[in-house]
């Protein structure tokens, strides 16, 4: 029988050698095992990165979002491993992330000069994961959500998919004289025009800033479930999100959640391409994911538009990873 290597002998003999520090090792989401998209049937969730920002209308940089979110997410995996489980001081519940099995399927192939081929790639890879487990999409600009929703519907076998969007913007521009019909400001319009989703299945939370002069009439006519930032201030975030997910789930088979990081106030999350003042606080954003994560209707989630170079503190990708961890904790680890 062969003698163990010196490395193996050291690891076997040294307490703590099996604990990987948050900043050590290969960066995968929550330090999940690297897997092929076809090999995720035995895990609770699988992460897919989309390093693409070819459809932005303002500052680029979301192509670096997946890498930054993965790196930041290592902290929660380290804490759980180091402490042997965690107490959530907000909920008071015991959480063991060992109960949450996550794989990381790496990044979807993207083609920076070919938006159509990139969308086809996203759709195919998300469909492959959705056929097997819960997809966690790391963006990438918000245009990528359009093919991801279609891929989720096709892979999971859903005829009709509800859509909950946390965002500063509605992304309902059907066509721009500058950007055309396919850019990050048109993603929700494209989703609502797809075979799987109508505007009546769409709930938007945290909308603020400016839209077209007749936007409220448009929302009424299409049945769009609109929850502006003013309504969040007046009613409270938990009540609004509960109504939003109920509306999106009412006549659909499952709900896809899309969180644009610019839904959060830029004083908290400046690392994004199109920041708008007056957004959600960090606590409101986390409460949003707590409510959504507790819903059995939610079948997929993405976190989009993180552009880490605009936040030298690293706070934006750190909060983005915390948001995803919060939703997954409610779904699988409580």
171 marked ligand binding residue: yes
The residues, ordered by sequence, that sit 6+ positions from 105 with a Cβ below 8 Å of its Cβ are 34, 35, 36, 37, 40, 46, 47, 48, 125, 129
Q: 3-state SS string over the chain?
A: CCCCCHHHHHHHHCCCCCCCCCCCCCCCHHHCEECCCCCCCCCCEEEEEECCCCCCCCCCCHHHHHHHHHHHHHHHHHHHHHHCCEECCCCCCEECHHHCCEEEEEECCCCCCCHHHHHHHHHHHHHHHHCCCEEEEEECCHHHHHHHHHHHHHHHCCCCEEEEEECCCCCCCCCECCCECCCCCCHHHHHHCCCCCCHHHEEEEEECCCCCCCHHHHHHHHCCEEEEHHHHHHHCHHHHHHHHHHHHHCCCCEEEEEEEHHHECCCCCCCECCCCCCCECHHHHHHHHHHHHCCCCEEEEEEECECHHHCCCCHHHHHHHHHHHHHHHHHHHC
- Residue 107, annotated ligand binder? no
Note whether 207 and 170 are within 8 A (CB): yes
Closest listed residue to residue 140, CA positions, set 37, 39, 259, 269: 259
Classify each residue of 210-234 as buried b or exposed e, where b means 16 or more C-beta atoms within 10 Å of its C-beta: ebeeeeeebbeeeebbbbbbebbee
169 among annotated binding-site residues: yes
The verdict on whether residue 142 carries a ligand-binding annotation is yes
Q: Cα-flanking dihedrals φ and ψ of residue 48, to 5°?
A: -130, 130
Ligand-binding site membership of 158 (annotated): no
Q: Does 262 show up as a binding residue in the annotation?
A: yes
Annotated binding residues, as ranges? 142, 167, 169, 171, 260, 262
Annotated binding residues for Mn(2+), as ranges? 142, 167, 169, 171, 260, 262
């Amino acid at each position: 029988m062969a003698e163990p290597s010196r490395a193996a002998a050291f690891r076997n003999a040294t307490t703590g050698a099996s604990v990987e520090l948050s900043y050590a090792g290969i960066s995968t989401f929550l330090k999940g095992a690297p897997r092929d998209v076809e090999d995720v049937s035995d895990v609770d969730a699988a992460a897919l990165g989309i390093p693409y920002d070819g459809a932005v209308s303002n500052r680029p940089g979301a192509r670096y979002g997946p890498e930054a979110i993965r790196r930041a997410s290592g902290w929660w995996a380290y804490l759980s491993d180091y402490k042997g489980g965690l107490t959530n001081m907000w909920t008071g519940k015991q959480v063991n992330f060992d109960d949450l099995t996550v794989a990381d399927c790496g990044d979807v192939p993207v083609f920076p000069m070919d938006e159509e081929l990139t969308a086809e790639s996203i759709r195919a890879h998300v469909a492959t994961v959705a056929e097997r487990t819960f997809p966690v999409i790391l963006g990438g600009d918000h245009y990528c959500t359009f093919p991801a929703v279609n891929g989720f519907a096709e892979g999971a076998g859903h005829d009709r998919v509800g859509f909950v969007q946390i965002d500063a913007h509605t992304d309902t521009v059907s066509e721009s004289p500058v950007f055309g019909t396919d850019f990050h400001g048109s993603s929700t319009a494209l989703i609502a025009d797809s075979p799987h989703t109508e505007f009546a299945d769409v709930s938007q939370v945290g909308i603020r800033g400016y839209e077209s002069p007749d936007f409220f009439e448009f929302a009424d006519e299409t049945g769009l479930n609109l929850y502006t930032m003013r309504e969040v201030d007046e009613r409270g975030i938990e009540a609004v999100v509960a109504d939003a997910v109920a509306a999106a789930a009412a006549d659909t088979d499952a709900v896809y959640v899309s969180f644009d990081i610019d839904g959060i106030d830029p004083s908290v999350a400046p690392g994004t391409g199109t920041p708008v003042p007056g957004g959600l606080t960090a606590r409101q954003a986390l409460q949003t994911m707590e409510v959504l994560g507790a819903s059995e209707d939610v079948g997929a989630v993405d976190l989009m538009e993180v552009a880490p170079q605009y936040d030298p503190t690293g706070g934006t990708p750190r909060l983005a990873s915390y948001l995803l961890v919060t939703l997954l904790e409610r779904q699988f680890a409580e």
